[in-house]
Structures are given as structure tokens and as C-alpha cells.
A and B are shown apart, each in its own frame.
Chain A
């Protein structure tokens, strides 16, 4: 079996021919040439919520920038605050955060032992969570930080809304995953998984649902830094990938930040027309923090009561991976996202020629000046 594994394509072809039976690539199979692609349609920071929120957030949700400003600089008769000492001081802290205590502010970390995520280190540690379905050893310390921040909580946290909005609107965020060398979408111990940035819009139906089977071109022009070749396995229809350090785009269309995740991996329930599950890893704290500020102004973060300087302290406090060799301070924090894909045909365009002659929103008709 092992020798055949190393020559999977040849073996599959030989068996199919020799037996004269349908292989996994029958005409109705989603696999084409042992390959299937998916395009990301939803991504949310994994936040477990109890029915009334009291389990994880017994003190309630956190204050945001507006509330913190009022706490720090309360309106008082005869007090005339200076711009430099108030607004610019707050912005200065956002862009130059420290771990100094915030004496007048109180940041509420998520409590309890339940969280959504993956066991990243293969251990069950004292700070680990248990998943809602009982799996122990879940590493998701970012949940401690963001679990009681309104921005991230369902169903209508502001960040949750806008991340989906710009998933659809902004092609910069297009995230493709392609499985190759696949014999069987239900069980295959050795598949190749490649991540790409796509460059085409998500196709939607009249009700806004994402359509299965769209074509996505790979962004070879600008997206080279988002291409990763990983190894994976499929067991009982669940794809898991080997950990790898990756970056991926995440933007709300104002800038073009990205996230950097160490030991990134997925656990996805695969179906011919969709895939759904988790991605997780150790998020680089500096990159995550800066990306948050670059994506979301203080105004925007106020929608969802998200106070970055307070979160920075909590991220470093709860950081659990990749210690700085000099200081010993962990530079990354375990984190998970809930993700959804729909199947897409990923087009590998030849470098010397375009294989699509028309793009969505484009027009092939003659432009007549003066009309």
C-alpha cells in the first residue's frame, strides 16, 4: 500500500482501467483530475457563547473606546480638557501600546472552561479549554481576550458583520484552498493542500447565497506571498492539515493588512459542494494587533466596543506560543476561526496567456466615445 501511495495517480489509473469500474472520479464526482477547490465565504473568530452570556462574561461585556474615554476624562464643570492630553493620548496608546497597568480601566477576560478551537500542542494543559462537544486540550487563549468583546460575539457583532461584508465585496480577501492528489473525498491518508489568494468575486444567487461551482483565478501577480503548499489527510470526510506558518489577507478595504499565524491548520468537514469547520494556530500578536488598527479605526471599533490597548495587555498576558528568544515573552497566542467554503473551480492560468476572455462586471462591447 505504501508503495502504491507514492504513485497514487498511476495506481488509481491502473486500477480503474484494469477493473473497468467507476473510480472516485466518476462523471458525477466533484473531483476533477483528483482535485477539488473551495473558496472561503465566511470567517469568524471562534467565540463560544452560553445562552445568556453569564458563564463566560459574568461581569458583562467590555467597554469600548467611547466608554473608556468617558471614564478617563469625565465631564466636570469648569474642566476644559486638552486635545493632546485626551484624544491624542488615547490614539498614542493605541498605536504605541504598553503593558503598563490601566489603573482606571477594567478589562474583562472570558471566564470558564469551554471554548471552540483545536488542540494545537497535542497536550491537555491547565489553561486549556474543553470544546462544546467534550474534546479536551483546546488551545484558544485569544478567546480569553476577545470572548467578552461585543465586536466578536454573535449573532450581530460589528466585526462579524463587516468581515463577511468585505469577504464578499473586496477581492483582496479572496482565500482559496485546493486539494490535489485526492482519491476519495471521504478517506485519503495523503493529500496535498495548497492555499492561494484568488482574484475573482464571490458569485451569489438572487438571495445572496454563495453559488457552488464558480471559477476562481489564482492571483499569481500579487498573491505569491499567500501561496502555501501543505500536506493533509482526510478521515471520515474530515480534512486535517499539518501545521505550517502562513499569512493570509484580512482587510476591511481601507488598507491591505494581513494576519500571520504560526502552526496554522484546518479541520474541515468536506462535502462535494462545501466545506466547513475550523482553522487555528498561534497568531502573531504584533501583526494581529496592528492589523486590527489598520483595518478598523477607533470610530469603527467603537461600533463593537473594542478597546485595543486593553486587548494588547490581555493578548500578551495570555500569549502561549513562540517565546522571544531574548525576553522569553510569548509572541503568539492560540486562536481559532470558524470558516465556511463553497466548492469552486480553481483556474491555473498560463503565465503567457489569459484563459478567461471576460470577467464579471467587465464588458466586451465596444466603448463608443460621445454616447
Chain B
């Protein structure tokens, strides 16, 4: 009933490098080269794809305004709102609880700008293209892209880190999240890229339908016959386009132009029942197209079928969980990182009792000397009594696996591979202050990032 296979096997198929590519070269998303002000650059992050960075390589973020249950939070275009005010009370933006409650660890709670330093512009800076300069309320100048003020995150430590936020879509129940900002993907008009758990998924922009390629084809040549065409629809290219970068055009039949990506003809799948679907990849020899696949987890993790899709598991198939948290102050600071207050997590995992939390949601212990091939997966030392980072080899500290610089967990209620008893556990279905299974594929809902 449950499928367990090593990630090397299963994800390698989903993440398969196209035949035209060198096997040892990571596939990175091509992006549109837009004019940028001096001092900025583009870094192709290993999970998020191309993002803007400052001169030190720090990823740039914005904070778009969204509607929450009891009001809006975030920034409007042209109006920076992240300031140095230290909020002490919650805002009551998330029903049903009221505002005016004193926030956890209020004495040491940072101001917004302490953790989201604004990207300041020099007095003589000049706008370029979508890059503009805004006046901050404190009188300083701040860079903006597409109208939204830009910030860096103190959680990012090295160039390419994108630990402050993600493009992977969640729900508004997560609160007003910061998002990494980058140039548009270099895809032809009509295509788009959707950020899902397994990578940067190529889709048709207008319909959201997934794009696939086939092992039955050859580079530059479609072998999709009449039977194949019943289920697979070639993505047709207008007569006027020319090859560029990863993109080319083949003649699938005389006079019929079909797009090819990295030389392989691309199709949509007639039977896909939803947008950004992975359903077609169940057909032998067919694969979703990623402009950039997600980095695989460290060796030994597994992919496990459950009753709605697939989740990440440990070597024994036991489901891995991530913890989500955003506080309810005006500045909407995250609380899902071990450097931030742990009172939120301790409430939902053990009613404030760290020992009960450790029993209910054990950390995923990393073997000594465990290595990750990516920055998105790492190990860290955690003091289980505080939930915060500990010095290496500190007494009582646990050496644990972390994803996006946050520990990952088990659920003690899970008894067998593929169980997800603690998915959507906590406030607002685990999105606001709670746990979610590490979804890789959801054929019914949006848990893996697609809608």
C-alpha cells in the first residue's frame, strides 16, 4: 500500500536531468537579464531559483500587503512600513483572539528593521528600470523593485541563502510573509514557473497546466504518435519565434511547430485534473519539466505514498514535519526559527512543556558527521529545553537535521510509513503556529505548493 523508495531513486526520476544536459552540472533556471543599479546582482539560489542580492550576496525580499482575518498587513507599493518600532502587543489580526496581548519575550523582541534591514540607497542613486527609490518615514532612501521596498534578512548568512522567506505558496493564514525577489524566468510568453516542493515547475501561464517531456522522444525530435497524442498534447509554438537559451522549436509534423525545452519537445497531459499537477509523471517514461529541480534531501531520506500524495520520510519511511509560525504583531515577525521565541511552538506541541514537546514531536536526529549536499538542508545543535540553538557538543544538546535553517520533526502519533497524523497540527491548520508534513506531492490540495 505504501511505497517507500530512496530519494535517489524516486526523486531522481522527478528531478531527472534532461538527456541534453551534462549529468554532473546542476540545472539552473535561466532568467531575464534586466537592467539593475550598480551594487546588485542575481544569484540563482538552489531552491528558490534566481533572486536579487546586494553587493554582499544577501538575498533581497519584499513584504507585499495581504488581507488577514481582521485586517491587512504588509506593505503597499511605494510605502515602506517596516520600521524601528518595537511592538509589545499583538494586533489581533488573526481571528478569533483579540489584540492587546503582551507578546512572548517582549523584553528582547526586535524591531522590524532589526531583522529586516532596509536596502538603503545612496543619496546619488538613480532609478533603473523596475528599480526605484523610495522615501522612508525616517527620511532615508530605500531601494524598491516593482514598487515594493526591499529588505535583507538577518537569517541569511551566506550568498544564496534564502532563509527569510519563500516563493512557495502557502495560504494567507500564514500571515503576511516576506518573499524573495528576483528577475522573471526566461521562458517564452505563455509559459510560467510555479514554485512547488519539488522545484521550479514549468507550467502554461494562462491555464496553469503542467508541462511534460518524454523519454520516448529524442533531442529535437518528437516520437509522439497517434496513440500518444490521445493523452499528450504538444505545446505549439507560433511560426514567428526563434530558438533562445534553453528554448527551441521543433517540427512535430510538417508545418506544426512545437516548443522544446533543453532540446526535448514539451507537452501537456490531457488527464491532469488540476493545475501544476504531477499526475502525468506517473505514466512511465514521462516527466514534469522543472526549470530548476529542488535539491534532494541528504542521503537516506525517503519518499512515501500516503492517501493524498507523497511526503518526505526518514530512512524507515517515518514522515518528516516542518514547523510554521508567524506572530500577530503589526510587523508580522516569524517565530518558526530557533533564534526566535519558542513559546508558540511549545504551546501547540506540549501545552508549554518542552519535555512533552520532545515526546510528541521529536527532533530528527542527524548522525554525527552527517553531511548535506545543499545549503537548504543542514544540521544544527538544539537545546531541547529552550528549543533554541546550542553550542556544538553542549550538554544535553541534540544534533538535528534542519530544512531552511529550521529543525525538522517527527510526530509520535505516526506508527508506520506514510502516516501523517500531525499534518495541519496547530493554529490555522498548522500554517500560523503549527506543524505540517513535509509534502512533496498533493494530488488534491495545495499542500505541496501548487494550487
**Interface residue ranges, A against B (CB under 8 Å):** 64-66, 69, 80-84, 86-93, 95-96, 170-172, 197, 199, 221-226, 249, 251, 253-258, 290, 293-295, 297-299, 302, 354, 356-359, 361-371
Contacts and interface: CB of A to CB of B under 8 A. Distances in A.
Contact of B237 (A80, A96, A224, A369): A369
A275 B187 CA distance: 51
B204 A87 contact: no
Interface string B240-266: 010000000000000000010000000
Contacts of A224: 1
The residue in B98, B204, B231, B238 that gathers the most chain A C-beta atoms within 10 A of its C-beta is B98
Given A255-B447, A357-B231, A367-B236, A223 B307 contact: yes
B391 interface: no
Contacts of B352: 84, 88-89, 92
B102 interface: yes
Contacts of B423: 255-257, 294
Contacts of A367: 190, 204, 207, 209, 233, 235-236, 268
Contact of B447 (A88, A197, A256): A256
Given A84-B104, A256-B445, A225 B307 contact: yes
Given A367-B236, A370-B189, 6 more contacts: A64-B96, A83-B103, A88-B343, A91-B433, A297-B428, A299-B69
Contacts of A366: 233-236
B48 interface: no
Nearest to A64: B96
Interface in B133-151: none
Interface in B26-44: none
Nearest to B189: A370
The residue in B209, B270, B309 that gathers the most chain A C-beta atoms within 10 A of its C-beta is B270
B309 A222 contact: yes
B236 A171 contact: no
Given A91-B348, A222-B307, A364-B233, A257 B190 contact: no
Contact of B307 (A254, A258, A290): A258
B85 to A, nearest CB: 18
B384 interface: no
Given A222-B443, A370-B188, A254 B230 contact: no
Contacts of B273: 171, 199, 359, 361-362
A77 B434 CA distance: 33
A84 B347 contact: yes
B415 interface: no
B173 interface: yes
Contact of B101 (A81, A253, A258, A298): A81
29 contacts: A69-B98, A81-B101, A87-B101, A89-B351, A95-B351, A95-B434, A96-B349, A96-B350, A172-B445, A222-B305, A223-B307, A255-B447, A256-B447, A257-B423, A258-B307, A297-B173, A298-B97, A357-B270, A357-B271, A359-B273, A362-B272, A364-B270, A367-B190, A367-B209, A367-B233, A367-B268, A369-B189, A369-B235, A371-B206
B429 interface: yes
Contacts of B52: none
Contacts of B75: none
A369 B96 contact: no
A171 B209 CA distance: 18
B190 A371 contact: yes
Contact of B96 (A222, A223, A302): A302
A298 B430 contact: no
A255 B102 contact: no
A111 B12 CA distance: 59
A368 B236 contact: yes
Contact of B347 (A91, A172, A249): A91
Given A253-B445, A294-B429, A370 B94 contact: no
Contacts of A225: 1, 307
B403 to A, nearest CB: 19
A89 B268 contact: no
Contact of A356 (B90, B271, B343, B444): B271
A302 B103 contact: no
Given A84-B104, A88-B344, A357-B230, A369 B426 contact: no
B132 to A, nearest CB: 30
A366 B234 CA distance: 6
Contacts of B430: 255, 294
Contacts of A298: 96-97, 427
Interface string B95-116: 1111011111000000000000
A257 B425 CA distance: 11
